[in-house]
């Protein structure tokens, strides 16, 4: 199948199934991916992301083909974790341990 036709035909649901298969190494029915299937599926996922991923997650391909790396601060914000960088840490004397 031609690459353009493949990408135009790929729905978000199909993309998610392929992405999950790449992540866990199995198709939804439990059949393991071959090395060739894994490589092809990973390429399809990256191409789909490069065209459709407007809200890139940490270490994904963003829309336009740019690889997106989120900082630790951005990830904490996305997961609702407060950044306590300046907060006091616990200190112990040697005899306290």
pLDDT in tens, 9-46: 889 999 999 999 998 999 999 999 999 999 999 888 88
Whether 56 shows a pLDDT value over 70: the answer reads no
Q: Give the pLDDT of residue 74.
A: 74
Q: How far apart are CA 53 and CA 27, in angstroms?
A: 23
Contact 44, 11 (CB under 8 A): no
Whether 47 shows a pLDDT value over 70: the answer reads yes
Q: How far apart are CA 71 and CA 44, in angstroms?
A: 26
What mean pLDDT is reported for the chain? 79
Q: How far apart are CA 73 and CA 85, in angstroms?
A: 10
pTM of model > 0.75:
no
């Amino acid at each position: 199948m031609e690459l353009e036709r493949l990408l135009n035909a790929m729905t978000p649901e199909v993309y998610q199934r392929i992405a999950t298969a790449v992540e866990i190494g199995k198709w939804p029915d439990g059949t393991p991916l071959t090395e060739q299937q894994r490589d092809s599926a990973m390429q399809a996922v990256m191409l789909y992301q490069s065209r459709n991923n407007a809200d890139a997650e940490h270490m994904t391909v963003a829309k336009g083909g740019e690889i997106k790396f989120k900082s630790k601060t951005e990830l904490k914000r996305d997961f609702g974790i407060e950044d306590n960088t300046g907060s006091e840490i616990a200190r112990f004397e040697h005899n306290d341990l």
